[in-house]
Amino acid sequence: MQDPNEDTEWNDILRRKGIIPEKEKEVTEDQIVNLLENTIDKKTGCAPDNLEDKSLDELDELEDEEDERVLEAYRQKRIAELKELANKSKYGEVREISAEDYVQEVNNAGEDIWVILHLYKSGIPLCTLINQYLTNLAKKFPTTKFLKSISTTCIYNWLDSNLPTIFIYHNGSIVKQIIGPLELRGMKLTEAELEWMLGQSEAVPTKIKEDPRPKVMDVLFSSLKNDNEDLYDDNDW
């Protein structure tokens, strides 16, 4: 049987009469080149002929323009992020509130707002120390709302034995509470430790990821070192 795809006069007659199907068209090399050029045209926005005529410097300029578009998109994204951050960075201080302010300042603080409330009393050294630390942390983390209130002014009959007290809120709901001098580590508490404690609930975006409080072994080693130094001093003396 004769191959219907052969280029013969008889096959041409049969094709014209519709007796055999038209010969399948092969994809030529020119068609492949045209396809590639069209793809380049879509990606670069330039006509293929123009690309062939361009020098290396002109092609570099095209790449630079693409880089500029990417950089501009990134720049606009960063501007939007910085604007959002600026809108949130509206606190930066520890504000005193009363019981009347509580609902508005704490429960209605706003969406995605972290609130740190310190209940204190004058004359309690640890309360004074924590107020000092919070003043510094409020400046460091201006997107977090820092508040303080005299304990019995804010919560009637709040016991002095519970002081200092720190309440942490997010979206108007309490997330964490740190109550009393034991939980707040007494007068040896450092600002870094307090920052870490607040960061545990993500109330502040701290970079302190591990508890900076000296470990027991470190304390023992330091004590032994001091004892040895005293011994050497005695011997020298």
- Measured CA distances, 5 to 17, 31, 87 (Å): 15, 21, 74
Bridge partners (DSSP) listed for residue 115 = 145, 169
The answer to whether the beta carbons of residues 154 and 98 sit under 8 Å apart is: yes
pLDDT tens digit at each of 237 positions of the chain = 555 556 666 667 666 766 666 665 555 556 665 665 565 555 445 444 455 565 666 666 666 666 677 667 767 777 777 766 666 668 999 999 999 999 999 999 988 999 999 999 999 999 999 999 999 999 999 999 999 999 999 898 999 999 999 999 999 999 999 999 999 999 999 999 999 999 999 999 999 999 999 876 554 555 555 555 554 454 443
Strand 145-150 versus strand 94-96 pairing type: parallel
* Predicted local confidence at residue 44, as pLDDT: 47
Q: Which CATH class is domain 95-201?
A: alpha beta
Report d(CA 70, CA 185) in Å as an integer.
50
* Predicted local confidence at residue 77, as pLDDT: 75
Domains of the chain: which residue ranges?
95-201
* Predicted local confidence at residue 76, as pLDDT: 76
The answer to whether the beta carbons of residues 145 and 116 sit under 8 Å apart is: yes
Read off the pTM: 0.59
166: nearest Cα among 190, 189, 144, 184 = 184
* Predicted local confidence at residue 159, as pLDDT: 96
